[in-house]
Structure 1
Amino acid sequence: MNKPIVALPLPELQAFAAVAQARSFRQAAERLGVTPSALSHSVRALEVRLNLRLLHRTTRSVAPTEAGAHVLAVLAPALAEIRHAIDDAVSQASTPQGLLRLSAPRAATELVLQPLVTGFLQAHPRMAVEMAGDDALVDIVATGFDAGVRFGESLQADMVALPIGTPQGFAIVAAPAYLAAHGVPTTPDELARHRCIRQRFPSGRVYAWQLARGAKTVQVQVQGQLTLSDGAQGVAAARAGLGLAYVHAALVAPELAAGRLVQVLADWTPPPEQLYLYYPSRRLQSAGLQAFIDWVRQPVVA
């Protein structure tokens, strides 16, 4: 005997996916433009319809059940494909319109993406852009983003990649007072006797400082009293005299020019790295994404 077909209303599926991804009814409601109670009702209706608990709920947290996680793994890409199919249909219009969702590391959002998006929105008034700063490696298809920004070594093989912005270099910096008290390191080996401000990625891995001089490259797993999750926080900590920080050079350019920070081991600075805009390979892109791709490709006017 064939099993009866269970009707699966799209709004309930969208509600569940939004809550499961955000792990918060409030945040999901803000994103969808509805009330948390409406979302809760939709998710509960879906669970009743399926006779299956999809979310664990407490007063402080929301998380998918094992069954919910399984459903989400298949549902999220499917919803993204549906949204892209609708976007492809809308792209037949001559004027780009609608929402463009972009994921990027927090530093790249500030240094590269923000200036480009500012000009893009001025040129395309019917477009809206959501930028999500996240240092984790995000699956842009599963999480519903149109495109992402990452360094080249982080890109998946099935993505189309386009250089974006100028290559980004790094610098090791410290406050003048710290260097006066602890000395100036002149070789990577001397970092072992210094307080270094470390950075931990969302994966849990602590970043090993990448140094290079000529053909010689070195990775140094530095030690220190302070571990942070954001480059901008590292700049502030270095300015406060808490130690050496390894940060994007563009973030500290004003600090170096003003003398609030000093660069060290400049002869061991690795070559700048190129950031890329990446997006899934599709024959048709939404009008908004295609317009942004064209905007990124246009020559930079000095």
Structure 2
Amino acid sequence: MGKPSLADLSAFAAVARRRSFRKAADALGVSRSSLSHTVIALEKALGVRLLNRTTRSVEPTQAGAALLSRIEPLLGEFDAAIDAISEVGGTVSGALRINCGEEAADRLLQSIVPAFLGRFPNVELEIATDGRLVDIVAEGFDAGVRLHESVPQDMTAVPFGGPMRFLAVAAPDYLARHGGPMTPEDLHRHRCIRHRLPSGRSYRWEFERHGEAMTVDVPGALTLSHTGLMAKAAAGGNGIAFVPEPVARERLASGALVAVLEDWSPPFAGLCLYYPGHRHVPAPLRAFIDTLKEIDGDRLYSTAGTARR
């Protein structure tokens, strides 16, 4: 093997970023064995080990980390050059992978995704719904969507959808039989529909009023892991659920659900699209961000598109 090629260096960078041959191979569309042979050949040509491999993990060596830090800007410049040439031709193409929760995906699918696909038919968009807070770089995603408070500090965040809030909701017949809670502490005397998080722990309901914050580990015989099902169960008279307002909006409008403790449920910064701020932004992602900003319009926060510190 002579001087390493751009493909060889890109292959190494994909593995080093993701700390996984399998994830890198999936992202590059090659077999794991082929990718492994490429990296081994690169190490042999350079005369230095770049990755430490065990049965459970892959970590860059000191030399590998140094090489990655030097070539990442160059790879970014290469991608930028390719994107610029493509845009001269008037087209945006390629793949775009976004990770988010189901409620966020539903929000995107309402208007932003249809508009984006209509304008950029040559882009292959994948939206992977996952309740876990994944490392979007390690998992091979271009961007993620999460609540503002959950966005990693080293990411660039583009808020959209405006402020949101969680609401405690119940069916009118349940409230007629059991009465409504006047304070969050009253929830201890009610049947609550608990929320199991992807991490496995039970979500503790969070309230705030006049600067006073309160967290309640509510009791309940029914536990669900999907907020849409929680709202449905509450509408069926099974107890009080605590869900994002958009999830319950239709049932609130129809009267199937009634909100309680509203004065303890102030709005907070809502959803953000986020992506690595220190890297070149691929043309498909840049086009998606532009579409999001245009569709979301005047609901965007003033911090949109800026890196959070």
TM-score range, shorter chain: 0.7 to 0.9
- Displacement of 1:239 in angstroms is 1.9
Match of 1:211 among 203, 207, 214: 207
Partner of 1:149: 145
Amino acid at match of 2:113: V
CA contact (8 A) 1:200 1:229 kept: yes
Match of 1:294 among 290, 295, 307: 290
Partner of 1:5: none
Partner of 1:259: 255
Partner of 2:115: 119
Percent of residue pairs bearing the same amino acid type: 42
- Displacement of 1:169 in angstroms is 1.7
- Could you list the runs of 4 or more consecutive aligned residues of structure 1 that deviate by over 6 angstroms after TM superposition? 8-19, 31-34, 43-46, 81-86
Match of 1:136 among 116, 132, 138: 132
Distance 1:160 1:17, change over 3 A: closer
TM-score normalised per structure 1: 0.74
Distance 1:69 1:175, change over 3 A: farther
Partner of 1:90: 82
**Are residues 1:189 and 2:185 paired?**
yes
- Displacement of 1:288 in angstroms is 0.8
Partner of 1:108: 104
Amino acid at match of 2:55: T
Partner of 2:49: none
Counterparts of 1:54-93 in structure 2, within 5 Å, are 65-66=55-56, 68=57, 70=59, 87-92=79-84, 93=86
SS at match of 1:298: helix
Amino acid at match of 2:181: P
- Displacement of 1:178 in angstroms is 2.0
Rounded to whole Å, the distance in 2 between the matches of 1:40 and 1:300 is 41
Amino acid at match of 2:247: L
Residue ranges of structure 2 left out of the alignment (5+ in a row): 1-6, 44-52, 299-309
Partner of 2:270: 274
CA contact (8 A) 2:76 2:280 kept: no
- Displacement of 1:202 in angstroms is 1.8
| Aligned residues between the structures | 275
TM-score normalised per structure 2: 0.72
Amino acid at match of 1:252: A
- Displacement of 1:101 in angstroms is 0.6
CA contact (8 A) 1:210 1:219 kept: yes
- Displacement of 1:123 in angstroms is 1.4
- Displacement of 1:255 in angstroms is 0.5
Distance 1:87 1:215, change over 3 A: same
RMSD of equivalent CA atoms: 3.9
- Displacement of 1:91 in angstroms is 1.0
- Displacement of 1:296 in angstroms is 2.2
Spell out, residue by residue over 1:65-98, the C-alpha distance to the aligned partner (whole angstroms, 9 max, x if none).
32x4558xx99xx7xx699676434312112111
**Are residues 1:226 and 2:222 paired?**
yes
Amino acid at match of 2:200: G
CA contact (8 A) 1:90 1:287 kept: no
Rounded to whole Å, the distance in 1 between the matches of 2:247 and 2:159 is 20
SS at match of 1:121: helix
CA contact (8 A) 2:79 2:280 kept: no
Rounded to whole Å, the distance in 2 between the matches of 1:97 and 1:111 is 24
Spell out, residue by residue over 1:98-124, the C-alpha distance to the aligned partner (whole angstroms, 9 max, x if none).
111111122111124653122111111
Distance 1:43 1:120, change over 3 A: closer
Rounded to whole Å, the distance in 1 between the matches of 2:236 and 2:75 is 47
- Displacement of 1:126 in angstroms is 1.3
